[in-house]
């Protein structure tokens, strides 16, 4: 008979492990529970001959438990230690970003491929007959801890970018709301990430004259969207009609946020139909 003892001092984790052991169908497996000093002990007994299968069972069970009960706690500790200068609200936002990354398919594929927890578990179980779960998590999972550290860094970078974007939108909205409109209407034709501006008479708006009074453009980025946004901020139309030839994306959402209340999105007017036909003709050729 092969036995392995898991020592726990957390009732929630204890109950979870007992429930999982009961529900997982594994032949020749029994278990017992008793308390010794400060720890509750779950002793798993295996009477079969396929020891590798038994070790895999233990690894899967413990990996699942560690991910469920320790991952969030470890991420919070990393945020509090490495990014103590953020306030509590900002830390919560960073933690939300961590969850988004953890729930992404890319993260799941990476964890599945690397199995950072399982590798360390297997190594430990092959050499020991008992495990203090807290001690194992905090002192044996260095590669996993390093991986979470990088994950938190990515979440912080994402938070900073989002914060800067929000501040950027807020400043531009203040600017727009503080000025009188320079024209009544501009049409924005948007297709495949490229922008064209038309005036009220449906003539193409020249953007070359507006670039020298840029209120938005950086010294680096000069796409048609950058020029279009700068022109909108220069002419400050009372109304913007966006004609979507393609799908709505982040740029269109940015326009809607900056010019809140002035933007109307259209997909089926004569302008939309004309540019859609032109676009289809380009694709055919």
* Domains along the sequence of the chain with CATH: 2-171 (no CATH), 181-284 (3.30.420)
Q: What is the pLDDT of residue 279?
A: 73
Q: What is the pLDDT of residue 281?
A: 61
Q: What is the pLDDT of residue 14?
A: 95
In a 10 Å sphere around its CB, with 0-12 CB exposed, 13-18 middle and 19+ buried, how is residue 25 labelled?
exposed
Determine how many CB atoms are found less than 10 A away from the CB of residue 156: 21
Pair 116, 141: CB distance under 8 Å: yes
Q: What is the pLDDT of residue 207?
A: 61
Pairing of strands 39-46, 2-8: antiparallel
Q: What is the pLDDT of residue 238?
A: 94
In a 10 Å sphere around its CB, with 0-12 CB exposed, 13-18 middle and 19+ buried, how is residue 266 labelled?
middle
Q: What is the pLDDT of residue 217?
A: 47
In a 10 Å sphere around its CB, with 0-12 CB exposed, 13-18 middle and 19+ buried, how is residue 271 labelled?
middle
- Ordered per-residue pLDDT tens for the chain, 285 residues: 899 999 999 999 999 999 999 888 888 899 999 988 889 999 999 999 899 999 999 999 999 999 999 999 999 999 999 999 999 999 999 999 999 999 888 877 776 677 889 999 999 999 999 999 999 999 999 999 999 999 999 999 999 999 999 999 999 999 999 999 989 999 999 987 888 999 999 899 876 544 445 555 444 445 678 888 989 998 999 999 999 988 888 999 999 999 988 999 988 888 888 888 877 766 554
- The model carries a pTM of 0.78
Pair 193, 254: CB distance under 8 Å: no
How far is residue 103 from each of residues 97, 99, 107, 154, 222, measured CA to CA in Å? 10, 6, 7, 14, 34
């Amino acid at each position: 008979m092969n036995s392995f003892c898991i020592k726990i001092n957390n009732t929630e984790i204890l109950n979870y492990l007992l429930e999982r052991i009961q529900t997982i169908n594994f032949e020749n497996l029994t278990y017992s529970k008793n308390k010794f000093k400060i720890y509750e002990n779950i002793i798993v007994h295996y009477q079969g001959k396929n020891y590798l299968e038994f070790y895999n069972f233990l690894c899967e069970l413990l990996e699942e438990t560690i991910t469920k009960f320790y991952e969030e706690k470890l991420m919070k500790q990393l945020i509090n230690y490495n990014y103590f200068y953020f306030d509590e609200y900002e830390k919560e936002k960073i933690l939300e970003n961590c969850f988004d990354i953890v729930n992404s398919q890319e993260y799941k594929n990476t964890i599945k491929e690397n199995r950072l927890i399982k590798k360390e578990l297997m190594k430990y179980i092959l050499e020991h007959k008992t495990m203090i779960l807290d001690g194992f998590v905090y002192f044996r999972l260095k590669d996993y801890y390093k991986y979470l550290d990088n994950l938190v860094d990515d979440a912080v970078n994402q938070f900073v970018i989002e914060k800067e974007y929000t501040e950027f939108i807020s400043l531009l909205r203040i600017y727009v709301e503080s000025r009188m409109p320079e024209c009544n209407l501009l049409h924005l034709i948007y297709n495949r990430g490229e922008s064209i501006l038309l005036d009220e008479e449906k003539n193409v708006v020249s953007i070359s004259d507006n670039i020298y009074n840029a209120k938005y453009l950086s010294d680096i980025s000069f796409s048609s969207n950058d020029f279009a946004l700068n022109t909108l901020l220069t002419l400050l139309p009372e109304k913007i009609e966006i004609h979507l030839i393609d799908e709505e994306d982040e740029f269109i959402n940015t326009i809607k946020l900056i010019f809140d209340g002035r933007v109307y999105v259209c997909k089926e007017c004569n302008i939309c139909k004309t540019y859609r036909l032109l676009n289809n003709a380009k694709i055919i050729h």
